[in-house]
Each structure stands twice: as structure tokens, then as C-alpha cells.
Amino acid sequence: MGDTDRDAVGEHTLPFGLDAGRTALVVVDMQYASASREAGFGRWLAENGRADEGRYRFDRIETMLLPNIARLLEAFRAARLPCVFVRLGAQMSGCRDLIPHIRQLESAFGNVLGQQEYEILDAVAPEPGEPVVTKLSASAFTSSGFDALLRNLDVTTLAFTGVSTSQCVDLTARDAADRGYRSIIVEDAVAEDRHDWHEATLEQFERLFGRVVDTDGLLRELAFLA
């Protein structure tokens, strides 16, 4: 989707900039369960003869998301702005503590406390002192202390990265907008199983819920605030 298309699609979203000192980077579900070709979802696809279904997703994660999220983490840390990590994962065997419709898949992926799949990828892992919120559902607002954490940090603007564009990223970003946060999705720092799903999600999000930017654009805004 080109800039002209985005301008037309986003005509219903009120424009806003970053709120100096009150903007946080949110890294969603960048775990071995959901963002690794060799573990979790990627391994499950390979074991079931469906590895090709994950090619677009994992190629994008490896070549685009990991370097872009790393750049954003470096910039936010340098600006002393919060970096908040969100993960989906179970603490009980059989994933019985997760919302029912995702239990079977997350159990198949091995996304349980104590397993590698539960952990955030080393390349974009939190540094000591950075908060990690564990959720039991797709939206972080539904099943965790995410909202309370953001309010305690006095955050008003959220820049979302991670996986998957149309699922946990979109649901959390929309919920953020509904709670009065200024919500941004970083287009080249989120990934999906299919390109058309990715584009359709961003198009709908930008119509009403918030802004869609790329990594370079967000970094320029951060530099302007410095």
C-alpha cells in the first residue's frame, strides 16, 4: 500500500504525534512459540508438512522484524522511554489457564512456562528492569495488568511491534485506542502469515483506531523530540 493510499484510507483518524516523555514501545509476542522458524509454530508447521505456509511469515520476521525492532529498542532506550514486552503463554500443563479457543494450538506449540517457546527471542529480548507482561488471551488488555502498568508509567502513546498483525497486535492496538491511548502500529515491525491479511488489517486499523508508520518514520519522530 503506497503513501497516497494510506492518506486516503486514514482520513478518518485524527492526526497525532508522539507525546514527549510519555510514549512507549510495545513488543508483542516475539517468542520462540510464535516468531521462530525452528521452534513453536514454525516447528509445528514443518512436522505437519506445512512449512511452506510459514515461509512469508518467518522470512519477514528474520529479514525485517528482528532488525527493525532492534533499531527501535535501541532508540527508545537511548531516549529513556519505556520498552514494554508482551507475551502469550501458559503456566499450567495443557495450557488450561489460556482462553479456550487458543489452548489446543498453544499446547501444540509448547508455549508453557519453563519451555523455550515461552521465552522472547534473544535478538529482541528485554534488558534487566524492562517489564514483561504475560497474557492469557490475544489482547493484552483482556487478561493481564498491561493497562495498569501503562497508567503507572504515565504513558499516553503506544507504538506496537511484533506478531501477528491481524491477531494479537491488532487486537491490543485497537483496545488501546478504545481506552484513550494514542495507538500506532509500525508497519515494517509487525508480521502476519499472509501479505493480504497484513495489508487489510493495517488498512482497517488506520481508518479509525490510530496511525500506521514505518520504522524510519518513527525514528525520525523520536529524533525530533530529542
Q: What is the pLDDT of residue 19?
A: 87
pLDDT (tens digit per residue) in 113-160: 999 999 999 999 999 999 999 999 999 999 999 999 999 999 999 999
Between CA 120 and CA 59 the distance in angstroms is: 18
Q: Which three cell numbers stand for residue 109?
A: 506449540
In which residue are the cell numbers 520504522 written? 215
* pTM, entire model: 0.93
pLDDT (tens digit per residue) in 174-209: 999 999 999 999 999 999 999 999 999 999 999 999
Work out the mean pLDDT of the chain and round it to a whole number: 94
Q: At 6, is the pLDDT very low, low, confident or very high (cuts 50, 70, 90)?
A: very low
Q: At 226, is the pLDDT very low, low, confident or very high (cuts 50, 70, 90)?
A: low
- Kindly report the number of other CB atoms within 10 A of residue 114's CB atom: 10
Q: Which three cell numbers stand for residue 125?
A: 529480548
Q: Is the pLDDT of residue 164 over 60?
A: yes
Domains and CATH numbers, the chain: 19-225 (3.40.50.850)
In which residue are the cell numbers 531516549 written? 79
pLDDT (tens digit per residue) in 62-108: 999 999 999 999 999 999 999 999 999 999 999 999 999 999 999 99
Report DSSP letters for 98-138, one per residue. S-HHHHHHHHHHT-BTTSGGGSBPGGGPPPTT--EEEESSS
pLDDT (tens digit per residue) in 109-124: 999 999 999 999 999 9
Q: What is the pLDDT of residue 15?
A: 81
Mean pLDDT, range 44-61, rounded to an integer: 97
Would you say 133 and 95 are in contact if contact means Cβ atoms under 8 Å apart? no
Between CA 153 and CA 149 the distance in angstroms is: 6
